[in-house]
Amino acid sequence: MGLALRIPLNSEGVTNAVERIARRTPLLRAPELSDQLGRPVWLKAECLQVTGSFKVRGAAARLSALNDQERMRGVVSCSSGNHGRAVAYVAQKLGIPASVCVPEWVDPVKLEGIKRDGAEAVLVGSTFDEAESHAFELSERTGRTYISAYDDPWVIAGQGTIALEILGQLGESPAAILSPLSGGGLLGGIASVFAERTGDQRCRTVGVSAEKAAVMLASVKAGHPVELAEEKTLASALAGGIGLNNQHSFKLIKDLVHEHVTVTEKQISDAMRYCATALRLVVEGGGAVAIAAVQSGIWKPTEVRDGPLVILLSGGNVAAETLASVLA
């Protein structure tokens, strides 16, 4: 497929793997936002996915590609929660032993989901990068395959199935898609599909970062992967680095994403409240950054051709206490 990946994003194997395990999530019309922007706005509700986030797509694609020996040895991953929950869920479905390293601040809802699906949860480190270092060591020591949350061609291809679904559900290419941005696997996969499949009807891809978790944006600005100190944020799903030796997702984001936006903690909180009260959807902070950019008015389609817009709600795994504080 060219670009930075060596497997086709629309390959039958990836699509079938995702369809066997993940859910085809709805594309919901957003009348209030449509009126605000003067064009049709649709919400891709990955917050309704089987594990509560889009991450199950990448995990399904990657774990399904393991050979018999790799499956017997098992897998190791590192996660701020959603990827770990997805790996645990898919591993249980496929009968693969799994260990998931998570930082000490992981959302308890996500930690409980990892344990419930039968994976070993290893609580280690005060930052994502510390937990990831432990996961690398564990993989090396045990011979288990490391499953990256974002910098793996199969994972990226799995996330790209979101774009294939959107094309089928809309019946046309959206004029633009706004997506949360962290490690880049999600938006990298989506942007790759639209770049290859839409031809002249080019979809403008907009990456939305949390102000306190914008390492990919900082890396794009620097021209190479960088590290940033981790900060506490409602968008904890977006926390963590992209790896200084990033092989795939950084190049995809640098080459294919047209526009970047950052949102504040208040804008994220307001968007979570809007989703819960106006849309009747539970959306976690990291999953709400894209709709925060629109709902707050900081992003407008000034450089976008005519046509529908799609906003990705990427996850809905949030502790009751956090949601209650947002709604208070």
DSSP of 139-168 = HHHH-PEEE-SSS-HHHHHHHHHHHHHHHH
Residue 159's pLDDT is 97
Q: How far apart are CA 79 and CA 76, in angstroms?
A: 10
What integer pLDDT is reported at residue 200 of this predicted model? 57
Instruction: Say if residues 184 and 150 touch (Cβ distance below 8 Å).
Output: yes
Task: Specify the pLDDT at position 162.
Answer: 97
127 — pLDDT class (breaks 50, 70, 90): confident
Domain layout of the chain by residue ranges: 12-55+153-327, 58-147
CA distances to 4, 46, 110, 275 from 194, rounded to whole Å, are 15, 18, 31, 26
Domain 12-55+153-327 and domain 58-147, same fold? Reply is yes
Its pTM stands at 0.93
pLDDT per residue as tens digits for the range 222-239? 999 999 998 999 999 998
* Residue 10 in this model has a pLDDT that exceeds 70: no
The mean per-residue pLDDT over the stretch 178-194 comes to: 96
Written as one letter, the residue type at 8 is P
Describe the strand order of the beta sheet including 176-180 as a list of residue ranges.
27-29, 41-45, 309-313, 176-180, 204-210, 259-263
Tokens of 37: 């922007």
CATH number of 58-147: 3.40.50.1100
What is the fold of 12-55+153-327? Answer: Rossmann fold (3.40.50)
